[in-house]
Structure 1
Amino acid sequence: MSMTPEQQSAFELGAGYSANQVSLLVSGAGGAVIFLFLAWVLFSAYQGWADKSLSMKQLGFTLLRIALLLFVTLVILTV
């Protein structure tokens, strides 16, 4: 649902930024947090595999989950 021109001008007057700029900021911050989380999961999975506490099958499933979450995140951020 989009805002009316009156709502847009009131938002810009109160916030000092346009709604599109705030939306971009929130999307970018959320995407950055998710990417950092995925990097942490990948690093942890690699450490587990290197220590032989994580099998190759478990590592493969972890990589698959990371790829799926990354794909969903990119789709959501581009819409």
Structure 2
Amino acid sequence: MGLAALRSSAWFTLHIRCENCMRDSEKVVQMPTGDDVPRDAEELIESVYLESIPFRCQPCGSVIGRLVGITGGNAYGY
């Protein structure tokens, strides 16, 4: 009988500034569970996951935003 290690997925809060109205917003994203997914902010920046996350400013409807910060994640993947 083997033991299975539980893996938790990392949660990140993306801090985004709209390029049109300059308002700040936050978007919470959860990474899927797996070996090749980012576990901290540095890994998230280097990964391709940010390219697939859509953004739409709620007040003005613009789809162009600038990522100004990332919080969350697990530094060591535990």
Higher percent of residues as strand: 2
Q: TM-score range by the shorter chain?
A: under 0.3
Which TM-score applies when normalising by structure 1? 0.26
More helix by share: 1
